[in-house]
Amino acid sequence: MDHPPLIVLIGPMGAGKSSIGRQLARQLGCDFVDSDRELEHRTGVDIPVIFEIEGEEGFRRREKAVIEDLSECGDRVLATGGGAILDPDTRRILRHRGVVVYLQTAIEEQLRRTRRDRNRPLLQTADPETRLRQLMAEREPLYRETAHVVVDTGAGGVPQLAKEIIQALEGWKAEHDGS
Ligand code: S3P
């Protein structure tokens, strides 16, 4: 594929942004970067520690700065954290600099993929399902507003989903070039 300079993956926790993104980059022959991992690398601590010390607000500030930096370069796939799109500047920057893919995922699937996770502070609650539903109600309109392309992650394994994304991006590009 004659791929666009920057492909951005957005979507909720447990959408598979990192695993699908890594596979997508492999299939496209470009780099893969993950804003959460980069944030951990820069600060030298895990995300739960950032939440603990600086709260969600501090985490969001850092997340915004990392995404702003990582989205400056093209020829890469950028996976973002589930709440990255809460910031209006981030939404604008991502849409402007890249082609944004929303990985749409059912709550049941999110729950299944995050069940034993201890690295996501927002899910360390007695009722993660309710939390995921609340977050989705809040964020779904923002995912849709930011995305150029929506891909459902419900069916198929990671390599298949990466192929589907490439097809969706080609479709988007054909439409976009023709307009
Ligand atoms: C968050 C999602 C996480 C991480 C942080 C907050 C969120 O990333 O950025 O725990 O607000 O949804 P993943 O979507 O990769 O799990």
Nearest residue CA, atom 8 of ligand 1? 81
Using most ligand atoms within 8 A of CB, pick from 51, 87, 120, 132 the residue to mutate for ligand 1.
120
Domain ranges in the chain are 6-171
Q: Which CATH class is domain 6-171?
A: alpha beta
Q: Is 81 in the pocket of ligand 1 (CB under 6 A)?
A: yes
- Ligand 1 centroid to Cα of residue 81, in Å, is 4
Task: Return the closest-CA partner of residue 148 out of 99, 83, 87.
Answer: 99
Nearest residue CA, atom 16 of ligand 1? 13
pLDDT bin (cut points 50, 70, 90) of residue 102 is: very high
Using most ligand atoms within 8 A of CB, pick from 13, 124, 136 the residue to mutate for ligand 1.
13
What pTM, to 2 d.p., does this model score? 0.96
Q: Render pLDDT for 12-51 as a digit per residue (tens, 0 to 9).
A: 999 999 999 999 999 999 999 999 999 999 999 999 999 9
Q: Is 16 in the pocket of ligand 1 (CB under 6 A)?
A: no
Secondary structure class of 1 (helix, strand, coil)? coil
Query: What integer is the mean pLDDT of 2-8?
Result: 76
Q: Cα 50 to the chain's mean position, in Å?
A: 19
Q: Is the pLDDT of residue 71 over 80?
A: yes
CB contact burial 91-108 (16+ within 10 A = b; e otherwise): bebbbebbbbbbbbbebe
Q: Is 83 in the pocket of ligand 1 (CB under 6 A)?
A: yes
Token pair in block for residue 138: 């809040």
Q: Is 13 in the pocket of ligand 1 (CB under 6 A)?
A: yes
pLDDT bin (cut points 50, 70, 90) of residue 177 is: confident
CB contact burial 118-143 (16+ within 10 A = b; e otherwise): eebbbbeeeebeebbeebbeebeebb
- Ligand 1 centroid to Cα of residue 97, in Å, is 21
Distance CA 53, CA 51 (A): 6
Q: Is 48 in the pocket of ligand 1 (CB under 6 A)?
A: no
